[in-house]
Amino acid sequence: MQFALTEEEEMIREAARRIAAERLAPHADALDRGQGRERLLENLTLLARNGFSALNVSADHGGSQAGTVAFALAIEELGYACASTAVSTSVTNMVGEVIQAVGSPEQKALHLPRLADGTYPAGAFCLTEAQAGSDPSAMRTRARRDGDDWVIDGQKIYITSAEYAGIFVVWAVTDPDARPGKGISCFLVEAGTPGLVIGRAEEKMGQHGSPTNVVHFEGCRVPASALMGRENDGFRVAVGELAGGRIGVAALSLGIARAAMDAAKAYCVERSQFGQRIADMQGPQWMIADREVDLAAARLLILQAAHLKDEGKPFSKEASMAKLFASEAAHRCTDTAIQLHGGAGYCRDYPVERHARDARITRIYEGTSEIQRLVIARETLRQLA
C-alpha cells in the first residue's frame, strides 16, 4: 500500500500552508469578531488566483485538476488557519465539481472558468430548507415550466457564502406528483437574476467570518438552459455531491482540531504548575496522546475516501466514515485543548475558544453525525446483501 503523496500533492499542501500562515491566520480572529467582512472576499480572491477554488476541475475549464487528495490536504491547511475561509472555499469547490459532473458543455464553459479565476468569488449550494434538512427529499421549493423558461419559488436556508456567490446551484421540485426524491431537478442561477434575493445572515455560534444566509426565490425566472442534468434527476445528483462534500468537511474538521491541539501543546510546554511544566505531568500527557491518535486516524480516513474518489471507485461509505470520525474528533480535540488551557481556554484571548466554536458545526452540516451513521450502516449491510 502506497502512503506517500505525489510531488504535486506535496506542492499544493505546502502552498496552502504558506498562504494560510501568511495571509489567512493573521486576520482570522478579526473575522471571527465580525470586523472587516471584506477580508473574506480578499481571502477568496487570493485563493482563486492561486488555484484553490477549482482544485478538482479540469484544466480545460481553468481548474487545477489536482484531485480529491490534494483538495483534502488544502482544505485541512486552510482550516488550520481560518475555518471561515476554508468552509467557503470547500463549498465553492463542491459547486465546481457538480457543474463539471452534470453540467452541459455550455454550462461548463461559461461558469467553471469564472469559479476558477475568482470572477465568481464563491459558489453557493442551495439544498437545505426549513422542512428539508437531513431529509432533502422533503423540499418545497418549486420550479414550474413557463414557455421557454423555468420559474422558481421557494426559500433555502443556511446557504454558505450566499452574499459573495456568483453562481447558485439550486434544487427544486419539478414534478410534485412524483414520490419523494424522484421529482426534483437542479438549476444554475446566476447572482443578480431578478427574483433571487439574499436574505439576512444568520447570527451563528462560530465560523463568524463566513456568511450563512437565507436565500429567497420569488418568481425567479431562468431560461430552459439553466436546467442542469436531466429533469427530475436532481436528487440523485445532490446525494452524490454531498458524499464529496463530506470529504471537505472532514478535512476542515481535521485542520481545526490540529490548530487547537498545537495551541494546547505549546501552552503546556510554556505553563508551569506545582513546580513543573504541565507538559511533564502524566495526566496532560495522556490527554495529548489520545488526541494524537484522533488526529492520525482522522487523516487516514480522509485520505482513504479521497483516494477512492480519485480512483473512480465507490466512496460514499468511506466519506461518511471520515466525516463522522473527523468531526467528532474535532469536538474532542477542541474540548481537550480548552481543558489543558484551564481558565485561559475559556477566554477569547486564546484561540482555542474560537476553535471550539468553529468545530461545533462540523458535526451538523453536510449531514449530521447521526445521518453519517445511517449511511455507514446502510452501505455496510448492502455490501453483505
Residue recorded with cell 422542512: 131
- Mutual orientation of helices 83-102 and 68-81 as an angle, nearest 10°? 160
Q: Beta-carbon neighbour count of residue 380 at 10 Å? A: 11
- Coil, strand, or helix at residue 351? coil
125: left (phi over 0), alpha (psi -120 to 50) or beta: beta
- Looking at residue 28, what is its pLDDT? 96
Nearest alpha-carbon partner for 112 in 61, 73, 74: 61
Give the residue ranges of DSSP H helices in the chain.
7-19, 25-32, 38-49, 68-81, 83-102, 105-117, 234-270, 282-310, 316-341, 352-360, 369-384
Give the model's confidence band at 34: pLDDT under 50 very low, under 70 low, under 90 confident, else very high. Answer: confident
Question: What's the average model confidence in pLDDT over 331-354?
Answer: 97
Can 76 be counted among the known catalytic residues?
no
Average pLDDT estimate for 354-378: 97
Kindly report whether the global pTM for this prediction surpasses the value 0.75: yes
The three cell numbers of residue 307 are: 483516494
Once rounded to an integer, what is the mean pLDDT over residues 319-339? 98
Task: Please work out, in degrees rounded to the nearest 5, the angle formed at the alpha carbon of residue 261 by the alpha carbons of 259 and 263.
Answer: 70
pLDDT exceeding 90 applies to what percent of the chain? 93
Check if the beta carbon of residue 144 is closer than 8 Å to that of residue 150: yes
pLDDT for the residue 1: 61
Instruction: Answer with the residue of higher pLDDT: 34 or 314.
Output: 314
First to last CA, the chain: 28
SS3 of 231, please? Answer: coil
Q: What is the mean pLDDT of residues 227-253?
A: 94
Which listed residue (9, 366, 370, 379) is catalytic?
A: 366
Domains parsed from the chain with CATH numbers: 7-122 (1.10.540.10), 125-235 (2.40.110.10), 241-384 (1.20.140.10)
Mean pLDDT in residue range 234-243:
90
Q: How confident is the model at residue 385 (pLDDT cuts 50, 70, 90)?
A: confident
Asked whether 356 and 335 are in contact (CB, 8 A), the reply is yes
Helix, strand, or coil here: 365?
A: coil
| C-alpha–C-alpha distance, residues 288 and 285, integer Å | 5
Q: For 202-219, how does the pLDDT look when each residue is reduced to its tens digit (9 = 90+)?
A: 999 999 999 999 999 999
